[in-house]
Amino acid sequence: MRIIDFRSDTVTKPSPDMWKKLKSLENSDLGDDVEGEDPTVNELEQKAAKLVGKEASLLTTSGTQGNLIALLSETKPGDEILVEERSHIYKWEVGGAARLGGLMVRTFPSNRGSFIPSKLQTLIRHEDIHEPTTSMICLENTHNDHGGIALPLSLFKDTNSFAIKNKLKIHLDGARIFNAAVALNQPVSEFTKYVDSVQFCLSKGLSCPIGSILAGSSEMIKRARKYRKMLGGGMRQAGIIAAMPLIALESNWIARLAEDHKNAFRLYKGLLDSDLQIKVQKPDTNIVMVEFSENVPMLKVVDLLSDAGIKAFDTGQRIRLVTHYGLNEDDIDYGIERILETFKKFFSSL
Ligand SMILES: Cc1ncc(COP(=O)(O)O)c(C=O)c1O
């Protein structure tokens, strides 16, 4: 059966050029990265830092690890951090901030990821003897759970002013920051110049098999390197992992994310063409959210899709469909047919 995998851009596999780069490695391209001696990792970290306009960067095993290391490096146990209520750090990172960082995590609401930072002033806690210290605010761009929304530069600027006023660090969960940059036609450094640290994923839209980058000041990354070791993320001849991202960080590869966005829009348009009881959210980037009403049993929808060869995740009363390097226009068109067919079958069975 033909399978179309819309679950995530994490299912992507490397491009032929990435394989070529990996196969070209020789022993002299490898060293012990815990000792800072792997030339391929060092090259990647320098290239990544430059791309996001930071002094230094660190290869981490995953986005979750990169985010957690940023929190550990920039806060103290007992501090409070502010995160948007549907952020990945709050919803999907196993509570690591609390368990491993000793942090109070305070959430705030948003309008599909957007918010007015100055309106968070009453959440700031510093002075009273009874209170913890608010020391960080986190941003997420694109915002996954709001459907891959690309948040604008103005939010970054305003958050930066708010953070300076309140002596907060800003960490950006930029798992998909390149999608935002491409969608808003801005260099990624325009976003990252407003934050103290940024994590971006190599293993999502950029199609590499493993890893993330955490970037920030040299001092911060020095601390981060130690926390990575503490978390068991110190890797040895990690040039094997770093080789493919060297290709992924080239500008033409980043620019191809626009194709994923085009395909997401095609998918959205195709799914709109129905009189079914669903709401399809217009995508900014590579994520299409299909909303169902409250009493719909979503596991059944996912199972039926799977029977039709369509892999997708449900997130609450929604099906999340993600476009990526592994899917072309033909896959999208085939996917639209199978999805609509399945939804019809589902609704007629209710
Ligand atoms: C916004 C966001 N942040 C962080 C992560 C975590 O990345 P990883 O799966 O590499 O831990 C994800 C993964 O889906 C994500 O969507």
Average pLDDT on 99-112 reads: 98
The pLDDT score that the predictor gives to residue 36 is: 98
Best mutation site among 59, 62, 64 for ligand 1, i.e. most ligand atoms within 8 A of its Cβ? 64
What residue type is assigned to position 220 of the chain?
M
Best mutation site among 12, 87, 88, 139 for ligand 1, i.e. most ligand atoms within 8 A of its Cβ? 88
201 in ligand 1 pocket by Cβ < 6 Å?
yes
Residues with Cβ within 8 Å of 76's Cβ and at least 6 positions away in sequence, in order, are: 102, 133, 135
> How many Å lie between the centroid of ligand 1 and the Cα of residue 200?
9
Cβ neighbours of 191 (radius 10 Å): 27
The pLDDT score that the predictor gives to residue 213 is: 99
Task: Flag whether pLDDT at 305 surpasses 90.
Answer: yes
> How many Å lie between the centroid of ligand 1 and the Cα of residue 267?
23
- 134-140/197-201 β-pairing: unpaired
How far is 338 from 309, CA to CA, in rounded Å?
A: 8
Task: Flag whether pLDDT at 270 surpasses 90.
Answer: yes
The sign of the torsion formed by the CA atoms of 129, 165, 68, 115 equals positive
28-79 pLDDT tens trace: 999 999 999 999 999 999 999 999 999 999 999 999 999 999 999 999 999 9
327: region left, alpha or beta (phi > 0 left; psi from -120 to 50 alpha): beta
Best mutation site among 62, 92, 203, 241 for ligand 1, i.e. most ligand atoms within 8 A of its Cβ? 92
Burial (CB count <10 Å: 0-12, 13-18, 19+), residue 48: buried
Helix ranges, the chain (H): 16-23, 39-51, 63-74, 88-91, 96-99, 153-166, 177-183, 188-192, 218-230, 239-248, 251-255, 257-272, 298-307, 329-348
Question: Among residues of the chain, what percentage have pLDDT more than 90?
Answer: 96
Task: Flag whether pLDDT at 251 surpasses 90.
Answer: no
The pLDDT score that the predictor gives to residue 28 is: 96
Task: Flag whether pLDDT at 230 surpasses 80.
Answer: yes
The pLDDT score that the predictor gives to residue 5 is: 98
Residues with Cβ within 8 Å of 253's Cβ and at least 6 positions away in sequence, in order, are: 15, 206, 207, 247
228 in ligand 1 pocket by Cβ < 6 Å?
no
Nearest CA to ligand 1 atom 7: 63
Q: pTM value? A: 0.98
Between 316 and 335, residue with greater pLDDT: 335
Query: By the 8 A CB rule, do 184 and 152 touch?
Result: yes
Architecture of domain 16-253: 3-Layer(aba) Sandwich (3.40)
Instruction: For the domain covering 256-348, report its CATH number.
Output: 3.90.1150.10
Task: Flag whether pLDDT at 274 surpasses 90.
Answer: no
Confidence of residue 27 (pLDDT cuts 50, 70, 90): very high
The sign of the torsion formed by the CA atoms of 291, 292, 293, 299 equals negative
Task: Flag whether pLDDT at 227 surpasses 80.
Answer: yes
The pLDDT score that the predictor gives to residue 115 is: 98
Nearest CA to ligand 1 atom 4: 63
Task: Flag whether pLDDT at 350 surpasses 80.
Answer: yes
Best mutation site among 59, 60, 91, 144 for ligand 1, i.e. most ligand atoms within 8 A of its Cβ? 144
How far is 234 from 32, CA to CA, in rounded Å?
A: 10
54 in ligand 1 pocket by Cβ < 6 Å?
no
Estimate the share of the chain in helix, then strand, then coil, as percent rounded to the nearest 5.
45, 15, 40
Query: By the 8 A CB rule, do 84 and 137 touch?
Result: no
The pLDDT score that the predictor gives to residue 273 is: 72
Q: Which of 208, 64, 82 is nearest to 144 (CA)?
A: 64
The pLDDT score that the predictor gives to residue 112 is: 96
- CA distance between the termini of the chain: 26
> How many Å lie between the centroid of ligand 1 and the Cα of residue 286?
15
Average pLDDT on 7-32 reads: 97
Start and end residues for every CATH 3.40.640.10 domain found in the chain: 16-253
Start and end residues for every CATH 3.90.1150.10 domain found in the chain: 256-348
